[in-house]
Chains A and B, each alone.
Chain A
Amino acid sequence: MKMNVTYDLNITCKTLLREQLDKLDIPHCIHSTGEVEFKRTPTHEEMEQLSLNLERYGIQILMDQKIDLVQRIKNTIDEMLQDDVVRLYKVSSYLADQLNYSYAYLSNLFSETTYTSIENFIILRKVDYAKELMANTDLTLTEIAYRLNYSSVAHLSNQFKKTTGLTPTKFQTIVRKRKENRLQQPI
């Protein structure tokens, strides 16, 4: 027997964090951008335990300020792409507003640490989101283009081809064949 599931990583991670923090009785408030505010300062032992517990889920506590900020830029971008209203804002001013740094600073820091620019990262993220929708939903390309705020299907297709080297149709063929392959294999 097989079952398909779909999940929201954002909710998964927040729930995990909350459960782990509650388990250690650390009063807290989880902010949207992967930021946790403690209501009291946790002891060293508690932090160590928390770090160990979270490691099992691939969640890492960020200590380095710069890496931390880059991660918050990425988190904010993810949120932007998933929020129907926020998506329409200008990225540069939204990031600057949310994170309280000038966009020039954020942009330099990002390029310095990630080998790519914020603009390119957003494209990669959007295309990744488009792939997700193509692979796991019945949405048409037109609907996907609309949902991801592309001006047209052609715009989405061009950006998709430029980023992945494949046309959306080719991508869908590969994903479909992979699934068929997997179904043929003995469990």
Chain B
Amino acid sequence: MKINPPQVNSKILNIALADDDEDDRLFFQEAIEEIAVRTKLSLFQNGKELMDYLNLPNVILPNLIFLDLNMPIKNGMQCLKEIRNNPLLNPISIAIYSTSSSEKDIEETFVNGANIYLNKPSNFSKLRESIEKVLQINWQYHTSNLNKDNFLLRL
């Protein structure tokens, strides 16, 4: 065996988005493609699809998951709790991506282990800006010895 320099591949952030609204998924995908941080995006239509994927054997886990709160079949809060109760999924950062800006919702998701709370912005350029900020900060947590337990960001 040889010691290889860190793979270029390891420098790509794997991102997942679970959102039942097709337009929202599309906007998100377009926005993330315009951002300098190199990413690979997987899309899911509801919480169940996402969780089934995460529980596949030998799956490459995403570094960061964007979770819509209101989804049919399995909602964002249920996913969040399931992910945080599974030690295998522990390294994943979770961003709640929701239209709700109720302080109660926000606090509840943080208390249940969310790292980021992002309000769905009203227009495309704001969306791109917000995602960019989330990715930049997440990147630092991914590559530096910052304490992930205390990773909380509200945008």
Contact = CB atoms under 8 A, between A and B. Distances in A.
Nearest to B135: A115
Interface string B123-155: 000000000000111011001111101101111
Given A48-B1, A74-B144, A116-B140, A60 B153 contact: no
Contacts of A165: 117, 153-155
B26 interface: no
B146 A51 contact: no
20 contacts: A48-B3, A61-B3, A64-B5, A74-B145, A114-B139, A114-B140, A115-B135, A116-B136, A116-B139, A116-B140, A125-B144, A125-B146, A128-B146, A128-B147, A128-B150, A131-B152, A164-B153, A165-B154, A174-B107, A174-B152
A47 B2 CA distance: 9
Contact of B6 (A63, A164, A174): A63
B111 A121 contact: no
Contacts of A60: 6
A79 interface: no
Contacts of B36: 115
A31 interface: no
Interface stretch (A21-29, A92-100, A150-158, A175-183): A175-183
Contacts, number: 73
A135 interface: yes
Given A9-B145, A47-B3, A164-B152, A174 B140 contact: no
B91 to A, nearest CB: 11
Contacts of A128: 146-147, 150
Q: Interface of chain A, helix or strand or loop or mixed?
A: helix
A175 B3 contact: no
B5 A124 contact: no
Interface in A134-187: 135, 164-166, 170-171, 173-175, 177-178, 181
B113 A132 contact: no
Contacts of B147: 128, 131-132
Contact of A51 (B3, B140, B155): B3
Chain B: interface size category = 20 to 34
Interface in B97-139: 107, 110-113, 117, 135-137, 139
Choose among B36, B37, B139, B154 the residue with the greatest number of A CB atoms under 10 Å from its CB: B154
A63 B110 contact: no
A16 interface: no
Given A115-B36, A124-B146, A171 B152 contact: yes
A63 B3 contact: yes
A135 B152 CA distance: 12
A143 to B, nearest CB: 18
> Which 5 A-B pairs have CB atoms at the shortest separation, nearest pair first?
A165-B154, A131-B150, A63-B5, A177-B111, A174-B110
Contact of B145 (A51, A78, A116): A78
Contacts of A121: 140, 144
Nearest to A161: B154
A33 to B, nearest CB: 13
Contacts of A47: 3
Interface in B1-57: 1-6, 36-37
A115 B139 contact: yes
